Amino acid sequence: MSRVIAGAGVDTKNGDGLPPTLEWIVDEAGDGVLRLIDQRLLPGELTFLECRTVAAVADAIRELAVRGAPAIGAAAAYGVAIGARDDGGLAGAVAAAVTLRATRPTAVNLAWALDRTLDAVRAAAASASADAATVALGVAHRIAEDDVAANRAMGAHGVALIPHRARILTHCNAGHLATVGYGTAIGVIRAAWEAGREPSVWVDETRPVLQGARLTAWELQRLGIAATLVADVMAGSLMASGHVDLVIVGADRIAANGDVANKIGTYALAVLARHHDIPFYVAAPTSTIDPATATGADIVVEERDPDEVTRFGGTAIAPPGMPALNRAFDVTPAALVSAIVTEHGIVRPPF
Amino acid sequence: MSRVIAGAGVDTKNGDGLPPTLEWIVDEAGDGVLRLIDQRLLPGELTFLECRTVAAVADAIRELAVRGAPAIGAAAAYGVAIGARDDGGLAGAVAAAVTLRATRPTAVNLAWALDRTLDAVRAAAASASADAATVALGVAHRIAEDDVAANRAMGAHGVALIPHRARILTHCNAGHLATVGYGTAIGVIRAAWEAGREPSVWVDETRPVLQGARLTAWELQRLGIAATLVADVMAGSLMASGHVDLVIVGADRIAANGDVANKIGTYALAVLARHHDIPFYVAAPTSTIDPATATGADIVVEERDPDEVTRFGGTAIAPPGMPALNRAFDVTPAALVSAIVTEHGIVRPPF
């Protein structure tokens, strides 16, 4: 991975002042490169990573330089295209998919995007109709474009759920930065804001990796949407004092029965929302729904390095040797979900 | 306030390897000084502050060098003694109490300790029976001794609530460091541990000030009690996966109806515990019960500097200019509390 300085890649296409989360560019030597925002450095630094190898894409996903279920799906598809280009067509694509699939276990969009890309490469190889790398790159571009379109469609549908001047609590980052553009849960908030509904957002900081404080805050600030940061522990108090009208979050995998795996802390918000009779919404593209997973009990929850809990940035916050547990996701039962917003419309229980 | 190096003040009296949270010492010049652990620097540094003036005691309380409802009560009583000594007896004591009362609004032990000390000073002044400073110091010593005795009594009573090998979730620090010694909620855990019940503890890190990660982790590690640190967002997931047998926390104020003000995040734990049918216990001395506060709705919840949320240690975690809300406490309705442990025994609802 090489670094490029801030300022590169500012998105003029969408006109929203947000640089692309990820983008396929052609460098001076004529080589295709996956360029993505290094989200580990936000909000302090806006820096881009250029991934030229499968290993670089895998590292970027594993180390959270790119994160968010839809964004890692698209990044992985580009990784397969790099594998097909550099390692002999179909065999390279298959090897790339093996490497990329192992990076993170919970988000199903990763597996979905890899399978979609590989299927196309295999079909092309079987009919000898086209070069594997070209086919894979075409599928990756389509996944990226479809993602933005799906997010805009989710926004258009979801806006019906957002009352005028709603005070909305969100967790983690399910925005532009979690997707190829526009966002899922934040996309719905953006659509409400674009429709003049004047939403305001409570941004959960989202320990341990602080995607809320670092990414959602940055994104909403750039968009000009009113937002206030809170520590995760404050959500219950805000609901009890009548300051939250609804909760909306993204998802990393939705089981066939509607159970939702999402960033750790989501489940507690759903329980709190139910206790206070506040709607709890999930916004996710249908690529996040996994028919092969019957219920949430079948979802593998990633456990990450305990250092993410015992350290904060570079600083130790716990005494040396303190054991810590770092579950990255939790599962919210379908019974606690008021509605799921997809690109095809709003689905209400029973799912 | 002056600083003394680590190593001073290690408690040989209690034999538990924990230095006194606060202690009245006589310095080389023969002056009485309130020495306390500077808890802002734990767990990185064990450093003691020597408070020689009322202003120094007030600063130490306001800036969280000393925190925890029982500990700030005792520290404030010593502050009144310093005021009586330095500023002309009763008048100085009254002025000190005004300054100290304004430091933090939520914990009632502060007001309780100030009133108890002032009452004694006033009575002595009325009968001209004793010097105000001597009387105030005597009351402060009694408050400190009573606190340790109350905590040990709470432990002796509370142990009945702790099953063998219980997996206990606690929030913030309601331990040795929150009291003059032994702790309230952690005191109950210590008593169970001393009784051979082999408890293990999930330590909530407790954003934004991280009293769990910094203080409870340090304390339990020194005591040798098994403990694992988690981010606050993980509690719901741990309960759902069957890894929590009970929750026990301290309190900053308990209203007449049993509503409990405690560190922000406590209320969410109580809602989650109820949802999972897990007992939720509060351990607090009767000095934390405020008969003058009818219900939790009457409790003033302190809001602290938003920088505690937007920064972490010295590092900004949110983009510049990001608004943040920093409620320091929340209120848990009595209906969600399974039992309150006091020095007089276990009280169950209705309170």
> Dmax over Cα atoms in chain B, in whole Å?
64
**Using an 8 Å Cβ cutoff, are B296 and B331 in contact?**
yes
Q: Which of A317, A327, A336 best tests the B interface by mutation, with the highest count of B CBs <10 A?
A: A317
Alpha carbon of residue B313 to chain centroid: 21
pLDDT digits (tens, 9 = 90+) for B55-111: 999 999 999 999 999 999 999 999 999 999 999 899 999 999 999 999 998 989 999
Sheet holding A200-204: strands in order across? A227-230, A200-204, A167-170, A246-249, A280-283, A339-342, A345-347
Top-confidence residue, A70 or A9: A70
pLDDT of B4 above 60: no
Average pLDDT over residues A49-73: 97
- Does the distance separating the beta carbons of B324 and A228 come in below 8 Å? yes
Q: How many CB atoms lie within 10 A of CB A6?
A: 14
Phi (first) and psi of residue A110, to 5 degrees: -60, -55
Nearest to A240 by CA among B210, B299, B281, B169: B299
DSSP secondary-structure letter at A346? E
Give the A:B interface size as CB pairs under 8 Å. Answer: 180
For residue range B115-140, what is the model confidence (pLDDT) as tens digits? 999 999 999 999 988 899 999 999 99
Query: What is the rounded average pLDDT of the residues A246-260?
Result: 97
Rounded CA gap, B175 and B193, in Å? 14
Under a CB-based contact definition with an 8 Å cutoff, are residues B188 and B162 in contact?
Answer: yes
pLDDT reported for residue B348: 95
pTM of the model: 0.95
Please tell me which of the candidates B205, B218, B265 has its beta carbon nearest to residue A319: B218
Interval A277-298 mean pLDDT: 97
Q: Say which of A38, A252, A290, A330 is annotated catalytic.
A: A252
Q: A277: distance to nearest CA of chain B, Å?
A: 13
Would you give the distance in Å from CA B209 to the centre of its chain? Answer: 14
Q: What is the pLDDT of residue B3?
A: 56
The closest of A70, A22, A13 to A342, measured between CA atoms, is: A70
What whole-number distance in Å separates Cα of residue A227 and Cα of residue A213?
11
Decide if B207 and A231 are in contact by the 8 Å CB cutoff: yes
Contact flag B271-A267 (C-beta cutoff 8 Å): no
* A157-347 CATH choice from 3.40.50.10470, 3.90.226.10, 3.60.10.10, 3.40.50.150: 3.40.50.10470
Q: What is the pLDDT of residue B102?
A: 97
Q: Strand A311-312 relative to strand A339-342: parallel, antiparallel, unpaired?
A: unpaired
Residue A312: closest C-alpha in chain B: B312
| Chain B residue nearest residue A326, CA to CA | B230
Answer yes or no: is pLDDT of B336 > 90. yes
Cα separation of A281 and B239, whole Å?
Answer: 22
Find which of B233, B252, B312 to mutate to test the A interface (most A CBs within 10 Å of its CB).
B233
CA distance A298 to chain B (A): 13
Q: Which residues of B touch A218 (CB under 8 A)?
A: 318-319
Residue A272 Cα, gap to closest chain B Cα (Å): 7
Q: Is the Cβ pair B231, A207 closer than 8 Å?
A: yes
Q: Best residue in A233, A259, A276, A307 to probe B by mutation, most B CBs within 10 Å?
A: A233
Please report the pLDDT score of residue B13 as a whole number.
Answer: 59
Q: Give per-residue pLDDT as tens, A271-286.
A: 999 999 999 999 999 9
- Structure-model confidence comparison of residues A263 and A106, the more confident one: A263
Q: What is the pLDDT of residues A177-204, one digit of tens each?
A: 999 999 999 999 999 999 999 999 999 9
Per the CB < 8 Å rule, is B228 touching A43?
A: no
pLDDT at A6 over 50: no
- The answer, yes or no, to whether residue B294 has pLDDT greater than 90, is yes
Q: Please report, for chain B, the start and end positions of each structural domain, with discontinuous segments joined by +.
A: 2-151, 157-347
A265: alpha, beta or left, given left = phi > 0 and alpha = psi -120 to 50? left
Q: What share of chain A in percent tops pLDDT 90?
A: 91
Per-residue pLDDT reduced to its tens digit, B229-263? 999 999 999 999 999 999 999 999 999 999 999 99
Single-letter code of the amino acid located at B290: D
Sequence-distant (≥ 6) Cβ neighbours of residue A290 within 8 angstroms: A108, A112, A253, A254, A255, A256
Q: Which amino acid is at B291?
A: P
Residue B12: is its pLDDT beyond 80? no
| Predicted confidence (pLDDT) at residue B1 exceeds the cutoff of 60 | no
Chain B residues touching A318 at Cβ < 8 A: 43, 205, 213-214, 217-218, 229
* A117-136 average pLDDT score: 93
Q: Hey, of B173, B214, B307, B317, which one would you mutate to test binding to chain A, going by the most A CBs within 10 A of its CB?
A: B317
How large a percentage of chain B has pLDDT more than 70? 96
Structure confidence at residue A7 (pLDDT): 45
Question: For domain A2-151, which CATH number applies: 3.30.930.10, 3.90.226.10, 1.20.120.420, 3.40.190.10?
Answer: 1.20.120.420
Average pLDDT over residues A116-124: 96
Closest CA to B94 of B119, B70, B75, B66: B119
Measured CA to CA in angstroms, residue B214 lies from A22, A32, A117, A172, B40 at distances of 38, 47, 47, 24, 9
d(CA B345, CA B158): 8
Which one of A43, A228, A318 has the shortest CB-CB distance to B319?
A43
- B87, B147, B232, B252: which is the annotated catalytic residue? B252
Nearest CA in chain B to A267: B236
Q: Which helix (H) or strand (E) holds A54?
A: helix A54-62
The CB-side HSE value for A272 (13 A sphere, CA atoms) comes to: 31
Which value does ipTM take for this structure?
0.94
Cβ(B318)–Cβ(B138) below 8 Å? no
Query: A227 and B265: CB-CB below 8 Å?
Result: no
Q: What is the pLDDT of residues B15-66, one digit of tens each?
A: 678 999 999 999 999 999 999 999 999 999 999 999 999 999 999 999 999 9
Closest CB from A210, A268, A313 relative to B236: A268
Residue A322 to residue B227, Cβ atoms within 8 A: yes
Q: Catalytic residue at A59?
A: no
The whole-number pLDDT of residue B313 equals: 72
Query: What pLDDT shows up at residue A8?
Result: 47
Residue of B nearest to A314 (CA): B315
Choose among B44, B221, B319: nearest Cβ to A221: B319
CB–CB of B264 and A233 under 8 A? yes
CA distance B302 to chain A (A): 13
Mean pLDDT rounded to a whole number for chain A: 95
DSSP lists the bridge partners of residue A8 as A6
Q: Which residues of chain B lie closer than 8 angstroms to A319, CB-CB? A: 43, 217-218, 221
Interface contact flag, A271 B275, Cβ < 8 Å: yes
Paired residues of A324 in beta bridges: B229
What is residue B2's predicted lDDT score, i.e. its pLDDT?
Answer: 54
Q: How far away is chain B from the Cα of A216, in angstroms, using its nearest Cα?
A: 9
Pairing of strands B260-263, B329-332: antiparallel
**Interface contact flag, A317 B265, Cβ < 8 Å:** no
- Chain segment A15-34, per-residue pLDDT in tens: 688 999 999 999 999 999 99
Is the pLDDT at A12 greater than 80? The verdict is: no
Contact B233 A315 (CB under 8 A): no
Above pLDDT 90, what percent of chain B? 91
Q: Tell me the average pLDDT across A44-57.
A: 97
Q: What is the largest CA-CA distance in chain A?
A: 64
CB burial string A235-252: b at 16+ within 10 A, e below:
bbbbbbeebbbbbbbbbb
pLDDT at B187 over 60: yes
What does the block give as tokens for A203?
């941004």
Contact A230 B325 (CB under 8 A): yes
Interacting residues of B39 by C-beta distance below 8 A, sequence separation 6+:
B64, B65, B66, B67, B177, B214, B215
